[in-house]
Structures are given as C-alpha cells and as structure tokens.
C-alpha cells in the first residue's frame, strides 16, 4: 500500500484540532463520571478514524502505521480512553484485511471503515489472559453454521460496539493447541450476551465488559480466512499492531504528564522562585523529557518496521515496554511536582496516574515483553 504524505499530514492536523476543540474540554467530566463519549465517537466516525489504516480500496484512509501511531500518541495525551475506541476496532479490521477472504474483505471492511460495524477483539477469558492457547470457548460445526459456547472478559467496545473478532477452539483436542484455534467475525445476535460492564481504576468512559456465548450461531463464512486452525496466527499479527498502539498511548501519557509538570513548575513558587529552578525538580523534568523522546522514537521505529512488512515483535515489544513504563514513571513524577494538587481530582495528573497502570498489563504484560525481546535477541544473533 502506498501512503499519501499530504493526506497523512492533513489528517494529523485535523485530529489535533478536533482533540483540542471537541475532546479536551469534555474529557475530565466524562472520565470522572465514567460516561461513554457517544458524541465524540460519532465525530470520529465522520472523520474516517475507524478506517484510518484500512486500504482505500475498501473505503479506508490507508494511513501508514507510523502516522496512526502519531495519532494515538496525540489522542492519549488528551484522553487515553478514546484511543482504545479505535485501537481494538482496528485490530479486528486488520485481522480481516490481512487474513480474510476477498468476500470477507468486501463485505466487512467498508462497514468497519465507516464505523457502521465497530467493535474489537474477543481474546481474554476469566481464567486465561497471557496464555491464549488455554482458552475454553468452543465452536462446533453444525451444517452451514458454527455453534459457540463460552465466556470472554475485558472486552473493549463490546457494550456499544456490535462486532468482535472472536477467538475460539474449533478443535479442543488439537496438538499443539494452537492448531485447534480459529478466529470468527462475530456480530451481535441471539446467544451473544453482554453480562457485565467492568468497573476500572482508570481508562474510564470506554466500555469494557464480560461476555457470555450460549448456543450462539455464526455462519461458517465468517471464519476469517475460511480455514480452521489459523486463529492464533491471525491474532498474534494483530497484537503487534496493538502493542505499537499501546506503546503510542504510553508515549502520549508520558508527554502529557511532562507538559503539565513543565507548566505547573513555572507557575508554582517556593522560597522566592519558581519550583522549576530548584535542582530537585529540574532533575525530574530532565529525566521525564528524555523518557518522552526515547518513547516516541521507539514507537516510530516499531511502526516503520510494521509498515515495511517486517517481523517486528521485538521492536514492538521494546516500544511497548519502555513507553508504558515511561508513562507510569512520568505520571508519578508529575504528581510529585504538583504536590498535593497532583492528588486532587481537580487536576488531570491523577487521571494520568490512574490510566498508566493498564498500559503495563494490556496487549501482553511488560514481563512478557521482556521475554519476547530476549528471545528475539538470541534468535537474531546466533552464537
């Protein structure tokens, strides 16, 4: 896919204006009351953001993942929750664009691009997160359909969305286990139940739910790629994209925490001078700024590798690990710089501090990222 540099620049400019005028003024109140940002989502649809990395052939904007990562960083600096509304959706869209049959692409990608169909990915289960091969949700073939039974949890966009890429076992006895796993395009219908919205520390406003599938029927032509046993492979490629997204979120949260700290430290005075002139504060600011720059560079390095079609689990893992740890560190350091005000709900710092921990866990824990980095390091540098 070729990327139009002018379109990409204009899109970034338009999104930045949108964030300042349509999101920043309302984010604090919506987040505080855990209200779904329905009006913001409609505006995001109108801007084409639900199709930003979908090929123009199927109605999308066809942006590079490098530009997409820049958009996510900017969004997360203003309100991280809205970045998740398009991220989970685009992992689902990417699974179809990269692995789907031509009929599936033509049927679904244009509707994903407009946001008419929108949702996310159904991977995690109540007793299964990192080890996806341990899922228990089962799909059994029955004529022209599959009948699905099981449960999923921590599913983003599942209450207000209408479609998910659903990971199931089509052969629970397969060895190795991944050969029995398949991915379906699952639209809401009889047997697809949203049982509970989860209450969260941060990342509020976005719908994260538990799902139950009871004799839920999905037509066989919704099996992504049309062949059983490829589901885990389809998911893992999408998770590279997801990790770049979460890394970009980390870079955005880290940068916003720095921005707030720099502004506040120039306004607040102690002992006759702005606190930014005290060495203890200056040391924190210097370290925070360096984390921000390194995070953005790592995110862009991984995104460019993805755009080139290269395997980038190590690069995405490095970006995800470093940028999200930077978000957590910068949020805490910014809170320290703000003193008591940083602990107040009147300021944005406590929201950044609550949002950051999710990034250490989501799309593969940072412990898992370090293992992936090390494994790839050894594989790429044989003795």
**Which residue's structure tokens are 């995104």?**
303
Burial label, 17 (beta-carbon count in 10 A; 0-12, 13-18, 19+): exposed
Q: Quote the CA–CA distance of 207 and 158 in Å, as a whole number.
A: 7
Out of 214, 363, 367, 379, pick the active-site residue.
363
Whether residue 363 lies in the annotated active site: yes
Structure tokens at 316: 């995405």
**What is the residue whose two structure tokens read 């995405």?**
316
- 3-class DSSP state for residue 371? helix
Q: Are 170 and 229 in contact (CB under 8 A)?
A: yes
What distance in Å separates the CA atoms of residue 295 and residue 323, rounded to the nearest whole number? 5
Chain centre to alpha carbon of residue 353: 18
Length of the chain: 383
Q: What angle do CA 197, 234, 232 make, to 5 degrees?
A: 75
Tokens 């980390």: give the residue: 250
Cβ(294)–Cβ(330) under 8 Å? Answer: no
Measured between alpha carbons, how far is 233 from 378 in angstroms, rounded to an integer?
22
Phi, psi of 195 (to 5 degrees): -95, -25
Report which secondary-structure segment, H or E, holds 192: strand 192-197
**Terminal C-alpha separation, the chain:** 37
Strands (E), 32-179: 119-122, 138-142, 145-156, 163-169
- Cβ atoms of residues 65 and 24 within 8 Å: no
The beta-carbon contacts of 32-37 under 8 Å, at least 24 apart in sequence, are: 32/204, 32/345, 34/199, 34/204, 34/205, 35/205, 36/159, 36/160, 36/205, 36/206, 36/207, 37/81, 37/82, 37/85, 37/205
CA torsion 338-344-346-351 (nearest 10°) is 80
Give me the active site residues, please. 363
């Amino acid at each position: 896919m070729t990327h139009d540099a002018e379109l990409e620049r204009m899109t970034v400019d338009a999104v930045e204006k949108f964030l300042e005028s349509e999101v920043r003024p309302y984010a604090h109140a919506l987040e505080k009351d855990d209200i779904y940002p329905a009006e913001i989502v409609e505006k995001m649809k109108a801007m084409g953001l639900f199709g930003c990395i979908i090929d123009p052939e199927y109605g999308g904007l066809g942006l590079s993942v490098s530009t997409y990562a820049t958009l996510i960083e900017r969004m997360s600096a203003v309100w991280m929750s809205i970045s998740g509304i398009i991220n989970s959706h685009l992992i689902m869209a990417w699974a179809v664009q990269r692995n789907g049959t031509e009929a599936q692409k033509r049927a679904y990608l244009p509707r994903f691009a407009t946001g008419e169909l929108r949702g996310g990915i159904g991977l995690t289960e109540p007793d299964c997160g990192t080890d996806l091969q341990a899922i228990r949700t089962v799909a059994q073939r029955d004529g022209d359909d599959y009948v699905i039974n099981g449960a999923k949890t921590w599913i983003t966009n599942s209450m207000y969305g209408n479609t998910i890429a659903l990971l199931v076992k089509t052969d629970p006895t397969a060895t190795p286990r991944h050969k029995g796993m398949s991915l379906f395009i699952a639209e809401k219908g009889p047997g697809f139940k949203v049982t509970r919205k989860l209450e969260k520390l941060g990342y509020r406003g976005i719908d994260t739910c538990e799902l139950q599938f009871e004799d839920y029927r999905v037509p066989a032509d919704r099996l992504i790629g049309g062949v059983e046993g490829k589901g885990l492979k389809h998911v893992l490629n999408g998770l590279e994209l997801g990790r770049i997204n979460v890394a970009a979120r980390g870079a955005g949260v880290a940068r916003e925490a720095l921005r707030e700290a720099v502004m506040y430290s120039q306004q607040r005075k102690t002992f006759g001078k702005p606190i930014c002139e005290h060495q203890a504060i200056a040391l924190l600011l210097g370290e925070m700024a360096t984390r921000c720059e390194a995070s953005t560079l790592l995110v862009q390095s991984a995104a460019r590798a993805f755009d080139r079609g290269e395997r980038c689990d190590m690069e995405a893992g490095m970006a995800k690990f470093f940028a999200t740890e930077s978000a957590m560190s910068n949020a805490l350091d910014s809170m320290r710089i703000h003193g008591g005000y940083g602990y107040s709900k009147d300021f944005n710092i406590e929201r950044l501090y609550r949002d950051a921990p999710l990034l250490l866990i989501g799309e593969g824990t940072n412990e898992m990222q370090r293992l992936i980095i090390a494994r790839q390091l050894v594989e790429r540098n044989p003795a």
